[in-house]
Amino acid sequence: MTSIKLQPLDHTLLPAALQLDHLCFGGLWTLDGYQRELESPNSDLLAIVPAPSTPDEEAVVITDITEERSEFLVNPKVNPKANLSTSRPRATSATPSAASDPLLGLGCYWAILDEAHITILGIHPDYQRRGLGHLMLCALLDRARQRDMARATLEVRISNQSALLLYQKFGFQIAGQRKGYYTDTGEDALILWRGKLQSTEFGTLLTTQWTEIHHRLTHHHWSLQLGLELLIAENSTLTYP
């Protein structure tokens, strides 16, 4: 069983965040940029990291939604396919190495008035298609709901159909299109919106998705631990199914 942990990003993970940013996005944000995000009261950053598995640690096991879905879901103006080619060999084992891969996934949203703008969602290239992107999206939306956000929005490449399928599972709808938004290819971006985050219906949807993630990750032998900061929120859906 591969043990991983979902937790808020902290300063100790900044170098790893920069490395993952380079692998996933080709260097979207700088170290100073991540530092500012951590210090901003309007930003919420989450991380998926390797975690030691010990007998006295409670864990919930979670897995992949589908073997075909892209894990590079949100990446402003960067071609995700261009970032898959690196000098680092791809992993042949499902077990992350804490030494070589201190950060497996990263997500961020900005709280702008009552709107959560998801700005980054990336999973390490060696650990794609194992449900971690689905896990991160669910966690970001749960955090936005805890923060009393009413809506969520993001941009996604018009060609990224696998990402669109995942967003649609959470009720996102196409609200518009930005022409030539991605400067590397000139590709258009679709603007996605999801309203009524505070509704009972959305809370039920998050619970349903969380249970699906749990069963799929269990099937793929991922053991997920939740950071204490995520468990203490009274209105969080990130509970043990």
Residue 173: name the closest of 153, 145, 158, 189 by CA. 153
Positions annotated as catalytic residues are 155, 167
Tell me the torsion sign for CA atoms 16, 18, 21, 23: negative
Question: Virtual CA dihedral for 150, 174, 140, 119, nearest 10 degrees?
Answer: -110
**In the sheet that 105-112 helps form, which strands lie side by side, from edge to edge?**
60-61, 222-226, 2-8, 43-50, 105-112, 115-123, 151-157, 187-194, 173-182
Element (H, E) at 241: none
Is residue 66 within 8 A of residue 222, CB to CB? The reply is no
Q: Report the alpha-carbon distance of residue 177 to residue 189 in Å, rounded.
A: 6
Is residue 196 within 8 A of residue 150, CB to CB? The reply is yes
